[in-house]
Structure 1
Amino acid sequence: MEFKLLKKHFWTQGLFLALCLLLCLPSQGLQAQELGVPQSQILTLSWETMYGRSAYGRRIANEIEAESAVLAAENERIIAELSQEEQNLTERRSEMEPEAFRVLVDAFDRKVQSHRNGQRAKLEDLDRKQQQAGSVFLQLAQPVLEALMQEAGAVAVLERSNVFLRSKDSDITDIAISRIDATIGDGSNIRLPAPEQ
């Protein structure tokens, strides 16, 4: 009889302990879920969306757009100047000796080529700046993404566009944007390395 009571007592305590453990263990997962972090071993995100909608990505896009507009205006001005110079050369052709005219035409062609190369180099610099900004963003975002992985108990974060079938619950793009913005803001205080030539 005493054995049955003792067995019942341990069984009741064991049940109570098991219940406590069940209630306590998922609390970390629930806390993470309450914060919007999905609980999954595989997470997905859209790099393009994360970068483009982040404060950092929007700032870089605005800077590139502004610099592109300046470059386009400069290009239009140069084209107008060269067109006028070409017209002046054409008008002077009848008054000049062919050899003298050829010297002016060759000099004009070199000038056109020089301007073209200069503008192309500026466009390439803008492209490099954009690529470097993306690389810097990835370096800055990595610790945030690693923390999200840890919170979710995940072993991998995959690019959403490379996943054939997924649950919407596995996507961390929005929460990643929010946390990256909170961590680095628009990144205006971060100096990008000068574009490599």
Structure 2
Amino acid sequence: MQNLGIPSSALLTIHSDRLFAESAYGQRVAREMEARSAVLMAENRRIESELRAEELDLAERRSGITADAFRTLASAFDQKVQETRRAQEAKFLEITTAREEARREFRNISIPILEQIMAETGAAAILEQSTVLLSAEAIDVTDLAISRLDASLGEGSGETLKP
């Protein structure tokens, strides 16, 4: 029996990646992550340019200073490059971690809505569509779940995405 677009089935399927990506919450997360990534990429380009200029300056100074003085300056420059690289990698990891945390939060928030859909349909389980070999399109509740999540959650608070 079909009731207002809600299937009646013991098994339902869902595209969890699509659920996240097409929901208002997931789209907000994507926008915020893209913005943070763009800022980091611009910062990386600026730092790379500054380090390149510093390296060229060091190379030009080489002929005018002693070998020991050059080694000291070159070692300090190398250490600066390594520290900068670690700091930038840590910033990238922060963005990746924030994205993963947002997905976990979304999954937790979506469980009550998915449970409600299960109760309404009489389903015993919701399976991940990507692990199902073959199924009827009618048991896919991804669109229904997205509309319900958007109605109850909207874009979400965004608190987990703060740096």
Q: Same fold (TM over 0.5)?
A: yes
The match for 1:124 is 93
Provide Cα deviations, 1:125-183, integer angstroms capped at 9, x if missing partner: 10000000000000110000000000000000000010011000000000000000001
Specify which of 95, 107, 115 is matched with residue 84 of structure 2: 115
Choose 1 or 2 for highest CA Rg: 1
3-state SS in 1 of match to 2:159: coil
- CA separation of 1:71/1:190 partners in 2, compared to 1, >3 Å: closer, same or farther? closer
Which amino acid is the alignment partner of residue 174 of structure 1? D
The match for 2:107 is 138
Which amino acid is the alignment partner of residue 160 of structure 2? L
Provide Cα deviations, 1:42-99, integer angstroms capped at 9, x if missing partner: 0000000000000000000000000000000000000000000000000000001000
1:192 Cα shift? Answer: 1.7
The match for 1:26 is none
Distance 1:194 1:70 in 2: 14
Is 1:177 equivalent to 2:146 in the alignment? yes
Is 1:101 equivalent to 2:65 in the alignment? no
Distance 1:172 1:158 in 2: 10
Task: Report which structure shows greater RCO (CA 8 Å, sep ≥6).
Answer: 2
Which stretches in structure 1 are left out of the alignment for 5+ residues? 1-28
Which consecutive segments of 4 or more residues in structure 1 shift more than 3 A? none
Which stretches in structure 2 are left out of the alignment for 5+ residues? none
1:37 Cα shift? Answer: 1.1
Which amino acid is the alignment partner of residue 119 of structure 2? Q
Which amino acid is the alignment partner of residue 191 of structure 1? E
3-state SS in 1 of match to 2:160: coil
The match for 2:30 is 61
* Matched ranges for 1:1-197 at <5 A: 30=2, 33-34=3-4, 36-187=5-156, 189=157, 191-192=159-160
Which amino acid is the alignment partner of residue 68 of structure 1? S
1:193 Cα shift? Answer: 7.7
1:194 Cα shift? Answer: 6.9
Calculate the aligned-residue CA RMSD, in Å: 1.3
- CA separation of 1:192/1:178 partners in 2, compared to 1, >3 Å: closer, same or farther? same
Distance 2:19 2:106 in 1: 10
